[in-house]
Amino acid sequence: MNRRRMLHPFKTELGEYEDAAVLPVDTDPQLYLSRNRRPQPFHLICSKDNVLSLISGGAHVHLRDSSVNRFRMDVGDHVYIPAGTPHRIVPVAEGVLLRFQPQDAGLQGAAWYCDGCDGELRRYEWEHEHETPAVEYYAAACARFSADEAARTCGKCGMVAAPVDLAAFGWPPPAA
């Protein structure tokens, strides 16, 4: 993927949760930039530690399987996300976020949880690959989840989660 020498975080047009790589490909850790307006449609799971840094706006970071359930982020705040911790960003105000992630990020995944009983509904995983934009992985996982009613149906309480509207996030439909 071609990268510019420098992205201006406030002038660059980015989609929701785009997580666009900012630095040259061989830089470790890598920085990923996104502009977020609406709640992330899944919990992201990274096999390596991450750090989130909010440079504009405000957000809550919801964590699962952790001793801390939520962080409120204001401009300048950093949140450490331990490896394997499902986390979801819920903007309070439109914001620009940086994710610090190791060069060799390893396995990543998207997980959905039941709004009724809080049980895990489905999880899709992929190997992080620098040449593929993160948003393509996110859109593909959301499309799989949305297309499979069984994946959206809770095995504990029977509640059915709504499909994810990719267009609302400005995400392209996954390639066939």
Whole-angstrom distance, CA of residue 173 vs CA of residue 123: 19
Tokens of 93: 């105000």
pLDDT tens by residue, 105-146: 899 999 999 999 999 999 999 998 878 888 999 999 999 999
Q: What is the model's pLDDT at position 11?
A: 53
pLDDT given for residue 133 in this prediction: 86
Closest residue by Cα to residue 144 from 115, 106, 174? 174
Note the pTM of the prediction, 2 decimals. 0.90
Give residue 13's pLDDT. Answer: 63
Distance CA 96, CA 119 (A): 30
pLDDT digits (tens, 9 = 90+) for 67-90: 889 999 999 999 999 999 999 999
Q: What is the pLDDT of residue 27?
A: 87
Helix (H) / strand (E) element for 152: namely helix 149-152
Q: Specify the CATH number for 20-161; select among 2.40.50.140, 2.130.10.10, 2.60.120.10, 3.40.50.10490.
A: 2.60.120.10
